């Protein structure tokens, strides 16, 4: 794996009242986040919050994920609005004492990776992007998003394509390699190169190009550090 940087901790002005810890799991589409999260379901003190992709595929009968991939210019703002709400709900959900909350992604990857990808690739109208940015600016200033550790499952775009093909989510059938390459660079810029400003927590980078059984072994060997004695 690439060297893990030790970014400074985010200064939060408000006093923290939490008792447990929060880990966010990041990585490209198809990098293995589900495998990672499933591993931690065995611990009773770990609360795993996966992305509600099924909700995104059925919002009042509409498949918002599919609409976004079919016509990003028309639907990506609405879709990212929905994703932002899902992320906020997960960040705000209350923790049981002495519990580790493990989230699939965060409000940060929505902003630094997906929204940026849409902007760079000119897949979102500039007014839509600006409105979304206003939401995120407000959230940044008014919500106390607590994160203690970021796990970055770093896989090459080629590996991600293979895994996406294997799982065969119909909405993603037309996603080109370049889309994953841009997302990969944006994850690296954010989590490895510090190009998106101060990180909210230290980053643990795992080599997610390894095949899944091998990755599971790495996850198991890091699990003690990740759990921090909580489970
Ligand atoms: P991912 O969050 O990457 O989840 P995954 O199930 O692909 O993860 P893994 O394979 O590592 O277990 O993305 C789910 C889908 O939602 C994917 O098609 C990308 C899309 N998406 C966006 O378009 N914008 C967003 O802001 C987010 C968070 C996801």
Report the alpha-carbon distance of residue 138 to residue 120 in Å, rounded: 22
Q: Please enumerate in sequence order all residues whose Cβ is within 8 A of that of 129, keeping only pairs 6 or more positions apart, or say none.
A: 77, 115, 118, 119
pLDDT digits 0-9 by tens, 161-205 = 999 999 999 999 999 999 999 999 999 999 999 999 999 999 999
Q: Please enumerate in sequence order all residues whose Cβ is within 8 A of that of 32, keeping only pairs 6 or more positions apart, or say none.
A: 153, 155, 163, 208, 212, 215
Domains in the chain: boundaries? 21-227
- Which fold, 21-227? Rossmann fold (3.40.50)
DSSP letter assigned to residue 199 = -
How much is the pLDDT for 11? 39
Instruction: Please give the distance, rounded to the nearest whole angstrom, from the Cα atom of residue 132 to the centre of ligand 1.
Output: 18
Report the alpha-carbon distance of residue 77 to residue 62 in Å, rounded: 15
Q: Which atom of ligand 1 is nearest to the CA of 80?
A: 26
Cα 26 to chain centroid, rounded: 4
Q: Which atom of ligand 1 is nearest to the CA of 29?
A: 3
How much is the pLDDT for 19? 59
Q: Which of 29, 31, 124, 160 to mutate to test the pocket of ligand 1 (most atoms within 8 A of CB)?
A: 29
Active site residue 104: yes
Q: List 78's β-bridge partners, or say none.
A: none
Q: Give me the chain's average pLDDT, please.
A: 90
* Region of poorest pLDDT, from 94-108, 115-129, 164-178, 187-201: 94-108
User: pLDDT-derived band of residue 227, with 50, 70 and 90 as boundaries?
Assistant: confident
| Per annotation, catalytic residue among 80, 104, 134, 217 | 104
| Tokens 């970021």, located at residue | 150
Instruction: Please give the distance, rounded to the nearest whole angstrom, from the Cα atom of residue 17 to the centre of ligand 1.
Output: 31
Q: Which two tokens stand for residue 187?
A: 């994850």
Q: What's the predicted TM-score (pTM) here?
A: 0.90
């Amino acid at each position: 794996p690439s060297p893990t940087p030790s970014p400074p901790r985010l200064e939060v002005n408000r006093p923290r009242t939490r008792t447990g810890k929060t880990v966010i799991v990041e990585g490209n589409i198809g990098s293995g986040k589900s495998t990672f999260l499933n591993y931690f379901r065995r611990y009773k003190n770990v609360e795993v919050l996966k992305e509600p992709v099924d909700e995104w595929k059925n919002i009042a009968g509409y498949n918002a994920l599919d609409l976004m991939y079919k016509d990003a210019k028309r639907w990506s703002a609405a879709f990212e609005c929905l994703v932002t709400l899902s992320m906020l709900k997960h960040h705000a959900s209350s923790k049981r004492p002495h519990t580790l909350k493990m989230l699939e992604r965060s409000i940060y990857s929505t902003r630094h990776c997906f929204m940026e990808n849409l902007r760079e690739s000119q897949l979102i109208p500039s007014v839509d992007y600006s409105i979304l940015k206003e939401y995120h600016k407000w959230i940044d200033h008014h919500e106390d998003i607590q994160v203690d550790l970021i796990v970055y499952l770093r896989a090459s775009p080629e590996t991600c394509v293979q895994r996406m093909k294997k799982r065969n989510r119909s909405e993603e059938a037309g996603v080109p390699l370049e889309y994953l390459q841009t997302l990969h660079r944006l994850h690296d810029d954010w989590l490895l190169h510090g190009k998106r400003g101060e990180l909210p927590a230290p980053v643990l980078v795992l080599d997610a190009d390894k095949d899944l059984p091998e990755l599971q072994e790495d996850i198991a060997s890091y699990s003690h550090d990740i759990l921090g004695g909580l489970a």
